[in-house]
Amino acid sequence: MNLTQSEVELFYKLWYKLMWGINEKHVISPRFTKPVYDEFVNEEPFVAVRNEMWKKPELIDEFLQDSGPGELTETERGLLTSWRNHYFKERFLILKHLSKYSVFMPMVNPAKLYAVYGIKNPLNEVMFAQPPVMVQTVLLPFNDKIIYDSMLEVFSISFGKGMRESFKSSYNEIKATTGIIVRLDAPPVKAVPPVKASKLPKPAPPSVDTKGANVPKGMSARYMEVAGIIEAFCDEKLNEDEFKDICLRALAKLCRKRPSPIMTGRARTWACGIVYAIGSCNFIFDRSQSIYTPAADIADWFGLAKSTAASKSYEITKLLNLSYFNAEFLMERYM
């Protein structure tokens, strides 16, 4: 939002040389001392010379004519000429501070928007008040940018909600129709609204045979992945079809939840947790029962630590509200 260090030094070199040269010839302010970049400048006589110059911009022509060979480079001469030909003195509203520049709108018709850079510091750091702020200044071209002539007269005017909404509306309308002027010696650049990326339809989830299980189509593949592990365990360790069916019903219910917790985590961990949780409420850890299997054996078969199996079982117990008093997932012999 401001010039580079080399640009800052070039601006003040020319600006101070111009002010000094004009005052030396016309003695607008007898108390004017030669300004030096990065040193204190007596503002009152400097402002007097500056104001007189913008009343009579032909003083810039005189300065250029009086500057002999070697006093100014071609680049410096070109910049001063652009100031003479394209300066814009007006009362402005500062409407916004954007990431690259601040937006000025002159208080004239037809209204336009100007992208203005700070000089040593961004304008949002120079200004104490938040936009909108009314200022009097002179805009100058500076290579491919617009700057101000280092002096801002700020008006102590506050704007009500209605006026702020009006300024906002004007800003949006001008930006959309004529754009923001980024160079004083070039036409405005019309703001081009960003092209919204077209949303591609999500690919349909693969169709997987769930053997009659009531699960959403998008969950069918995950259901079959976990179900296959549960079936393998039950066939090898329990040989109890009723228990296996109850585990698969519990898995299907978890798949129907929105969102389904089954979609995250390892399939083996979910399979182990379901067997462990359903087994717990069906007395699988009771030595007197035909389906007795120690908790450690269940965890070992799935390749998990016993604490991991118990933790996942606890999570599933809460998700399905499992208990000895909930008959939904109990074997018939315990009802």
pTM: 0.56
Contact predicate 50/28, CB 8 Å: no
Q: Which of the pair, 211 or 227, is modelled with greater confidence? A: 227
| Structural domain that includes position 14 | 5-84
Of the three residues 69, 84, 99, the one that is the final residue of a domain is: 84
> Is there a single domain that holds both residue 221 and residue 329?
yes
Tokens 């704007």 belong to residue: 159
Residue 205 within a domain: no
Of the three residues 177, 197, 232, the one that is the final residue of a domain is: 177
Residue 188 within a domain: no
Strand partners, 88: 139
> Is there a single domain that holds both residue 127 and residue 223?
no
pLDDT at res. 186: 67
> Is there a single domain that holds both residue 258 and residue 233?
yes
> Is there a single domain that holds both residue 29 and residue 132?
no
- Dihedral angle, C-alpha 182, 174, 121, 154, nearest 10 °: 130
Contact predicate 208/296, CB 8 Å: no
Distance in angstroms (rounded) separating the CA atoms of residues 53 and 50 = 5
Q: Name the average pLDDT for the chain.
A: 88
pLDDT at res. 191: 46
Distance in angstroms (rounded) separating the CA atoms of residues 189 and 175 = 9
> Is there a single domain that holds both residue 222 and residue 329?
yes
Q: Which of 86, 84, 112, 85 is nearest to 181 (CA)?
A: 112
> Is there a single domain that holds both residue 110 and residue 19?
no
Q: What is the CATH number of the domain that holds 147?
A: 2.40.50
Contact partners, residue 128, CB within 8 Å, separation at least 6 = none
Q: What is the CATH number of the domain that holds 222?
A: 1.10.472.10
Q: How far is CA 30 from CA 22, 34, 36, 287, in A?
A: 12, 11, 17, 110
> Is there a single domain that holds both residue 161 and residue 270?
no
**For the chain, what is the domain count?**
3
Residue 186 within a domain: no
Alpha carbon 152 to chain centroid, angstroms:
31
Of the three residues 68, 84, 100, the one that is the final residue of a domain is: 84
> Is there a single domain that holds both residue 42 and residue 138?
no
Tokens 């402005």 belong to residue: 92
Classify 194 as helix, strand or coil: coil
Residue 298 within a domain: yes
> Is there a single domain that holds both residue 124 and residue 168?
yes
> Is there a single domain that holds both residue 156 and residue 226?
no
Task: Write the DSSP assignment of 109-172 as a string of letters.
Answer: SS---EEE-BSSS-HHHH-SSPSSEEEEEEEEEETTEEEE-S--EE------HHHHHHHHHHHH
DSSP conformational letter for 262: G
Please give the helix or strand (H or E) that residue 22 lies within, else none: helix 5-26
Residue 312 within a domain: yes
Contact predicate 105/174, CB 8 Å: yes
Residue 197 within a domain: no
> Is there a single domain that holds both residue 56 and residue 118?
no
Average pLDDT over residues 249-253: 94
Q: Model confidence over 24-81: pLDDT tens digits? A: 999 998 888 888 887 888 888 888 999 999 999 999 999 999 988 788 898 888 999 9
Q: Model confidence over 77-114: pLDDT tens digits? A: 899 999 999 999 999 999 999 989 999 999 888 788 99
Average pLDDT over residues 271-300: 92
Residue 192 has pLDDT above 60, yes or no: no
Average pLDDT over residues 242-256: 94
Contact predicate 271/230, CB 8 Å: yes
Residue 206 within a domain: no
Distance in angstroms (rounded) separating the CA atoms of residues 191 and 172 = 10
Residue 244 within a domain: yes
Give the pLDDT band (50/70/90) at residue 195.
low
> Is there a single domain that holds both residue 327 and residue 223?
yes
Single-letter code of the amino acid located at 209: D
